Amino acid sequence: MMEKAYATIIEQVGEDLNREGLLDTPARAAKAMAYLTRGYHQNLEEVVNNALFPSDNSEMVLVKDIELYSLCEHHLLPFIGKAHVAYIPDGKVIGLSKIARIVDMYARRLQIQENMTKEIAEAIMSMTGAKGVGVVIEAKHMCMMMRGVEKQNGSMKTSMMLGTFRSKPETRAEFLSLLC
Ligand SMILES: [Zn+2]
């Protein structure tokens, strides 16, 4: 089905679907799109897979520079960047690789950066029961760089603060200073 849709797009841009280089393109593009949106077929429980461990650590845990690749829901063009995720545990910690997997699950969907930032923060909060969660995402948007205003160096920064990251200025400040 998606393969057919890509064949139509290729024709509509003025190409010849029978040109040798394009013969398998609808199938390949469909496969690539399915991969780029595989987050729709994942859920939090399965991604975290019980990697939650008891801990009496109540200091901030920060995972910086988590690469992310997403597609903007307005143009279906990529936006690419990094997520920084921090939380303050309340009795349990989550496997570090799971934080990256949670970021990936939400990035591999049609997204806007603002919503994705919030979804990631809320997911970490709900899975860990943390005292607070902070998420900062910086990304470059191809829909801005390749079309429209064509601003090559514009990057967008979004943040979401929950719990103590929202209520305690010193917690938020500690988080933000660790990102510099
Ligand atoms: Zn866009």
pLDDT at 143: 92
Q: Is 84 annotated as a binding residue?
A: no
Compute φ and ψ for 148, nearest 5 degrees: 60, -125
Structural domains of the chain in order of their starting residue, each with its CATH number: 2-36 (no CATH), 47-178 (3.30.1130.10)
pLDDT at 147: 87
For residue 126 the two structure tokens come to 């709900």
Decide: 37 and 2 in contact? Cβ < 8 Å. no
Q: Catalytic annotation on 41?
A: no
Q: How far away, in angstroms, is 6 Cα from ligand 1 center? A: 19
Q: Is 143 annotated as a binding residue?
A: yes
Tell me the C-alpha to C-alpha distance, in Å, between residue 42 and each of 39, 70, 82, 101.
Answer: 5, 15, 21, 10
Q: Catalytic annotation on 73?
A: yes
What is the bridge-based pairing of β-strands 52-54 and 92-94? antiparallel
Local mean pLDDT, 10-residue blocks, the chain (180 residues): 97 97 98 98 96 95 98 97 98 96 98 98 97 98 86 87 98 95
Decide: 166 and 125 in contact? Cβ < 8 Å. no
Decide: 137 and 98 in contact? Cβ < 8 Å. no
Catalytic residue selected from 45, 143, 150, 170: 143
Q: Is 72 annotated as a binding residue?
A: yes
Q: Which residues surround ligand 1, an ion (CB under 5 A)?
A: 72, 74-75, 143
Q: Which residue type does 89 have?
A: P
pLDDT at 153: 73
pLDDT at 126: 97
Q: How far away, in angstroms, is 164 Cα from ligand 1 center? A: 32
Q: Catalytic annotation on 143?
A: yes
Q: In what order do the strands lie in the sheet with 110-111?
A: 110-111, 61-72, 78-88, 132-141, 156-163
Q: How far away, in angstroms, is 72 Cα from ligand 1 center? A: 5
Q: Catalytic annotation on 75?
A: yes
What is the bridge-based pairing of β-strands 110-111 and 92-94? unpaired
pLDDT at 151: 73
pLDDT at 164: 98
Report the C-alpha gap between 92 and 71 in whole angstroms: 33
pLDDT at 154: 78
Q: How far apart are the first and last CA of the chain?
A: 46
Q: Catalytic annotation on 12?
A: no
Catalytic residue selected from 3, 75, 122, 138: 75
- Ramachandran area for residue 36 (φ above 0: left; ψ -120 to 50: alpha; else beta): alpha
